[in-house]
Amino acid sequence: MLRVGITGGIGSGKTTVCKIFQALGISIFDADNSAKRLMAEDVALKNQLINHFGAATFGADGSLDRKYLAQKVFNNEQELTQLNQLVHPFVLSDFESWLQQIPKAPYSIREAAIMLESGTYQDLDVIILIDSPEKLRIKRVIQRDKRTETEVQSIMSRQWPMEKKRKFANFIIQNNEKQFLITQILHLHELLISQSEHSTTA
């Protein structure tokens, strides 16, 4: 089974694209949701977070204090890197377990927002980048998350620019509201099936 990664900047349309792949029968692993779940539930990870960020990382009831953690890492690149270094090994282990449980298929997809920035793309066979104009991405996030334009731009500033992301992509999906998404995805779907069959027989 080919391991395919899907990534893109905030507001690029990762969720929409993954839903279409899912409709084609492809299993999707949401790395960001996995990270949130593991930070809340995995005892070993929780202990590591407490050791680094302090006991206030979790409330009296044991729940993750997301606001506290966000304040710790929001404008501190070193602390954000440390958080990612703690969490990502657990997410990758979760992904490996997930792979053992999903139905057999030519390929599976791992979706993650900072796959390239974190270096967690390196175990994947194919990288798909969702490309979308910055103004359109900002508009989508403002509507979806009720954030201000300044807040969205602040988040974008902590992600790689699209020009840098493109250098790592094997395929690029244009989500610009001009080209049909489904047509692009169906084409990629056939290519990935073909690539999977070729790798099996090689």
Sorted by where each begins, the domain ranges of the chain are 1-27+107-196, 31-101
- Residues 118, 87 contacting (CB under 8 angstroms): no
**Contact in structure between 148 and 142 (CB atoms under 8 Å):** yes
Averaged pLDDT, 34-52: 95
Q: How far is Cα of residue 28 from the mean position of the Cα atoms in its chain? A: 11
Percent of residues, the chain, with pLDDT higher than 90: 78
How far is C-alpha 19 from the geometric centre of its chain's CA atoms?
14
pLDDT tier at 12, thresholds 50, 70, 90: very high
Query: Distance between CA atoms of 134 and 156, rounded to whole angstroms?
Result: 9
Q: What DSSP element (H or E) covers 3?
A: strand 2-7
In the structure, what pLDDT confidence band is assigned to residue 201 with cuts at 50, 70 and 90?
Answer: low
CB atoms within 10 A of CB 168: 14
Q: What mean pLDDT do residues 27-39 have?
A: 95
> Which bin fits 165, alpha (ψ -120 to 50), beta or left (φ > 0)?
alpha
CA distance 82 to 103: 34
Q: Can you list the alpha helix ranges (DSSP code H) found in the chain?
A: 14-23, 31-41, 43-53, 66-73, 77-99, 115-118, 134-145, 149-157, 162-166, 181-201
Model confidence over 146-164: pLDDT tens digits? 889 998 988 888 888 889 9
| CATH superfamily, with its number, for domain 1-27+107-196 | P-loop containing nucleotide triphosphate hydrolases (3.40.50.300)
Residues 109-155 have pLDDT tens digits of 999 998 998 889 999 999 999 999 999 999 999 999 888 999 898 88
| Tokens at 142, concatenated | 């403002």
The token pair at 35 is 């990270």
Q: Above pLDDT 70, what percent of the chain?
A: 99
Q: Which residues contact 37 (CB under 8 A, 6 or more apart)?
A: none
